[in-house]
Amino acid sequence: MLWVLWISGSSATEMENRLSGWKRELLRAHSLIAGLFARSEVRGRSLAYMQGLLSGCERKNGWQMAEWMGEASPYAMQHLLDRASWDADAARDRVREYVVEELGSPDAVLIVDETGFVKKGLHSAGVKRQYSGTAGRIENSQVGVFLGYASDKGAALVDRALYVPQEWAEDRERCRAAGIPDAVEFQTKPELARQMIGRALDAGVPVGWVAGDEVYGTDSKVRRMLEARQVSYVLAVACNQHLWWPDFQQQRVDAIAQSLPKRAWKRLSAGSGSKGERLYDWALVRLSEQQGWARTLLVRRSRGEKLEHAFYLCYAPTPKSTLALLVRVAGQRWQIEQCFETAKGECGLDHYEVRHWQGWQRHITLAMLAHAVLAVLRGRGKKNSPWRRASQRTRSAPSAHPSVVARKTQPATRPRLVQLASGPPTPGHLLPLPKTPIPPA
């Protein structure tokens, strides 16, 4: 069953202008990767695929998107993801450039995290029974490591890597059957994260901070790389993380937190959530200072009867190593979770049915670009517009596709949800490829 949002007070002209803006931005974003497709048929197919990802299809897989496009089979879609000639890594770089152009800020935060893709069978590249944060338990799944970019203008995904478990990497015949290149060796999730962060920094991405959960913060090589490049970070670590104390003894971070006096704690918000301000008690412990850079331990404590703690190792210029600023950066990590939620729910990030390595890279990259279009449009929208306020209240963006938006034709006294009939998707109206470059809005 599909639900769409009707915004009260929107005239037909306003709706048409808004819809025209969505079309224009989609075409402009696609124009950044269009040159990677040598054949016009594949180029047009890639635009249709992105439009399908942003459409009202319930499932953005090959069969349903082909039906939405009015095609009898998904073979053309499968060709785009499998056999067609184009470079998914070059497209990934264009996605990053697009996000930086629209959302870039010197105070932005690079956020690294992984997400799971639950799968059946044993043949999809990298699949195994492993912990999936998406399912919240051990499931047969693939895991992708992602790099997000968050600023005060919005947040989007800018890089991706498929995690290949060690048992896969050691079975070259199985890897070849799944299309995994011989050059791909086993790498831990923190190693994949270091590569993605390095690519962003080497490309000159403006960034003030790096954030991540304890999978990445506990890895000392991630921290050392950032310190060597003088990039500030706020990285979560496990409660059993040991630190050198002034008495030259190692102390666990949870023991350090327990020893803090009452006056060390201050109640601050880590940002707004679905239920309002996310208030916690925070404490900051200075560890060392060298050449104008400070290392600190940030501790978060819950406010319930059962006190729970989270711990962050921080590295930043001394003037920026303040409790308020570090808490703000720590709170930015949730934005990549929101990116996953939106990309899966609205852009089909996890709707793919491909098994091979290349198909995964290509689908994920196109879904990232589709999600970036949503992020850019949201960031560009006026804060007081009815559309923006209503989409924030529903915690989802309106569909970018005309076949969904066009159904909202009757004015109402207030925003309301309209129930649409379930069933197979009707063929959508595909956008033609532009003959001239699309300038920024």
Looking at residue 422, its pLDDT comes to 40
Residue 191 has a pLDDT of 98
pLDDT given at position 133: 79
Please report the pLDDT score of residue 305 as a whole number.
79
Say what the pLDDT of residue 439 is.
53
Would you state the pLDDT for residue 80? 94
CB-based contact 400:19 (threshold 8 Å): no
pLDDT value of position 420: 36
d(CA 67, CA 401): 15
Residue 160 CA to residue 193 CA, distance in Å, equals 9
Contacting residues for 417 by C-beta, under 8 A, at least 6 apart: 3, 4, 5, 6
Comparing CA positions, the residue from 400, 408, 388 lying closest to residue 12 is 408
> Quick one: pLDDT at residue 406?
37
Is residue 408 exposed (0-12), middle (13-18) or buried (19+ Cβ within 10 Å)? middle
Q: What is the pLDDT of residue 388?
A: 41
CA dihedral for 190, 196, 199, 204, sign (positive or negative): negative
Which pLDDT score is estimated for 134?
76
Q: Give every residue of the chain whose pLDDT is below 70, as ranges.
A: 1-19, 382-441
159: exposed, middle or buried (C-beta count within 10 Å: 0-12, 13-18, 19+)? buried
**pLDDT the model gives residue 294:** 97
Place of tokens 């969904």: 404
Q: Nearest CA to 184 among 174, 91, 217? A: 174
- CB-based contacts of 380: which residues, under 8 Å, 6+ apart? 102, 441
- Whether 420 and 407 have beta carbons less than 8 Å apart is answered as yes
Q: 422 and 2 in contact (C-beta within 8 Å)?
A: yes
SS3 content of the chain, % helix, strand, coil (to 5): 40, 25, 35
Q: What is the pLDDT of residue 384?
A: 34
Beta bridge partners of 145: 114, 161
